[in-house]
Structure 1
Amino acid sequence: MSKYTNVSIKHLQTVEERKDALKVRVAVFVDEQKYSLESELDSHDDVSQHWVAYCDKENQDGTVEKGVPVGTIRLIPKPDGLAKLGRFAVLSDARGLYIGQQLVKSFIQYCKENSFNTIVLHSQYPRRGFYAKMGFMIEENDDAIFDEDGTPHIRMWMRSL
């Protein structure tokens, strides 16, 4: 198993940089969770903000790879100060290092600093506890479980940023 150190979160600015986000998304959503590549690629990438978590990766043979993309998150801007959190993923061998928490915190901070007042997300139902720990809530009138690409999801909110 690889060892990751020196976590840094980068707000991506170019289409070229977004390739790192896509590498993580394909590894997690397509290769690991078996979603189709077609469902992973959508028209929202071009209008969204993207972040990637980078780490130095120490391999079993002792070599170190610098700046390896290990996590990503995407913000789709919606009307009326609403931000949609999506395409949030961390490579399986980098989980447990609080990289996901760092990505979500960076996302929330960006929203606060850029006139967003509410965040919404569609959580895979089994992963809703992670978002609850980060401050997201399932609203009483919005607690229906729904299917998204063959997986049960639930809508969660963070209001009054």
Structure 2
Amino acid sequence: MTRDGVVVVDNEETRDDAFEVRRAVFVEEQGVPESLEWDEYEDEATHVVAYDEGQPVGAARFRDYDLDGDRVCKVERVAVLESARGEDWGRRLMEVVEGEAEAAGFDRFFLHAQTSAREFYQKLGYEQVGEEFLEADIPHVKMVKSL
């Protein structure tokens, strides 16, 4: 099912499209090593991909996570191709992620935001907790949101 151009990955083709976006943004653009980009959570995570006129332009994933003894939704690998930034794809991806996660029983979310995206997540209701840290040599902050 497509919502506002964003689909939940349910086959190999859409999964490959999500991975293509992640490769372009994280590996090629930002220099994240492939060994860090793909991990042991790929199969358990729920992936989403955004399409603009049939072409993949954004991706994200979420998964169940134990945060301090509580079950929360961890949002990860949110990416929009440089050519599609500023066109609202990030918000649309996050709306689908949060909607799908809420339907799966989550009411608390957390993510590690690149500091350059902190303001984007704040506009979506996320709050920073803790100090800045490096992840894949990129400055990040931990952010949380409750529904």
| TM-score normalised by L of structure 1 | 0.83
Describe how 1:72-87 pairs up with structure 2 within 5 A.
Answer: 72-79=59-66, 80-87=70-77
Secondary structure at the counterpart of residue 145 of structure 2: strand
Unmatched segments (≥5 aa) in structure 1: 1-6, 57-66
Asked if the contact 2:14–2:49 (Cα under 8 Å) also holds between the matched residues in 1, the reply is: no
Describe how 1:1-161 pairs up with structure 2 within 5 A.
Answer: 8-56=5-53, 67-79=54-66, 80-139=70-129, 143-159=130-146, 161=147
Asked if the contact 2:114–2:138 (Cα under 8 Å) also holds between the matched residues in 1, the reply is: yes
Residue 126 (structure 1) shift: 2.0
Asked if the contact 2:26–2:32 (Cα under 8 Å) also holds between the matched residues in 1, the reply is: yes
Aligned counterparts of 2:15 and 2:45: Cα–Cα separation in 1: 11
Residue 111 (structure 1) shift: 1.8
The Cα RMSD (Å) is 1.2
Residue 17 (structure 1) shift: 2.5
Residue 108 (structure 1) shift: 1.1
Residue 81 (structure 1) shift: 3.4
Letter in 1 for 2:76: G
Residue 95 (structure 1) shift: 0.6
Residue 150 (structure 1) shift: 0.6
Letter in 2 for 1:9: V
Asked if the contact 1:81–1:117 (Cα under 8 Å) also holds between the matched residues in 2, the reply is: no
Letter in 1 for 2:122: A
Letter in 2 for 1:13: D
Which structure's CA Rg is the greater one? 1
Residue 156 (structure 1) shift: 0.1
Aligned counterparts of 2:128 and 2:38: Cα–Cα separation in 1: 27
Residue 123 (structure 1) shift: 0.5
Aligned counterparts of 1:21 and 1:48: Cα–Cα separation in 2: 12
Letter in 2 for 1:147: L
Please identify runs of 4+ aligned residues in structure 1 that moved more than 4 A: none
Secondary structure at the counterpart of residue 128 of structure 2: coil
Once the two structures are aligned, what percentage of the paired residues are identical? Answer: 35
Residue 14 (structure 1) shift: 2.6
